[in-house]
Chains A and B, each alone.
Chain A
Amino acid sequence: AQSVTQPDIHITVSEGASLELRCNYSYGATPYLFWYVQSPGQGLQLLLKYFSGDTLVQGIKGFEAEFKRSQSSFNLRKPSVHWSDAAEYFCGVAGNNRKLIWGLGTSLAVNP
């Protein structure tokens, strides 16, 4: 069955520190992978996506993610976190019938 796992429910980092949010997927074919960010009380915004080609993809707001097929992972990274990065982050994989399969999200808090 297709699924997405975000192992970390909540992460706290200090401003300026590096960040890595984990995402593991289960999908039989070549996955189309996404990361979205949700600020409190807002809709979701697409950070980046992987369809094919270079396994390191760059997104908005200084984020990047690396697709590792051998590990079924698509981890999100940022070298230096800003206080405005505090938000909920969702990983997703394109499933069948025009639907996305979502992880449960990781809540990021940033300490000043």
Chain B
Amino acid sequence: SQTIHQWPATLVQPVGSPLSLECTVEGTSNPNLYWYRQAAGRGLQLLFYSVGIGQISSEVPQNLSASRPQDRQFILSSKKLLLSDSGFYLCAWSPPGDRGLNIQYFGAGTRLSVL
């Protein structure tokens, strides 16, 4: 069966420090991968998604970037964190070639506090 791992679960970082959040998927090949941010009371904001290695689509201009160095690895990064980067970050995956059904499966999330 497929599983998704996301770490760390909690992170406290000072303003201006770098960021690296990692997400890996097991039990499938060539998944679609997603990074979301969730701010309190504001629903789910899609940040990046990827349909393959090295293929990254950015949904909103921001202080963050994403990379997919391996088929089942998705990394969210920042060179210098801002206070506004605080939030709950979720990684998700969906099966490739699913005829547009796009069922997404989520990791447990990372709570990022920038102080």
Contact = CB atoms under 8 A, between A and B. Distances in A.
Contacts of A49: 101, 103
Interface string B97-115: 0001111111111010000
A41 B89 CA distance: 10
Contacts of B88: 41
B94 interface: yes
Nearest to B46: A99
B42 A104 contact: yes
Contact of B101 (A94, A97, A99): A94
B29 to A, nearest CB: 16
Given A94-B101, A94-B102, A100-B102, A41 B44 contact: no
B43 A99 contact: no
Nearest to B90: A43
B42 to A, nearest CB: 7
Nearest to A9: B41
Interface residues of A, number: 23
A interface majority secondary structure: loop
B105 A46 contact: yes
B101 A44 contact: no
Contacts of A104: 41-43
Interface string A18-61: 00000000000000101010000111111001010000000000
A102 interface: yes
Interface string A63-83: 000000000000000000000
Given A51-B101, A94-B101, A98-B51, 16 more contacts: A32-B100, A32-B102, A41-B111, A43-B6, A43-B92, A44-B104, A46-B103, A49-B101, A49-B103, A95-B102, A98-B49, A98-B100, A100-B104, A102-B43, A102-B44, A105-B43
20 contacts: A32-B100, A32-B101, A32-B102, A34-B103, A36-B106, A41-B88, A41-B111, A43-B6, A43-B106, A44-B44, A44-B104, A44-B106, A45-B106, A46-B103, A46-B105, A49-B103, A90-B44, A98-B100, A99-B49, A104-B42
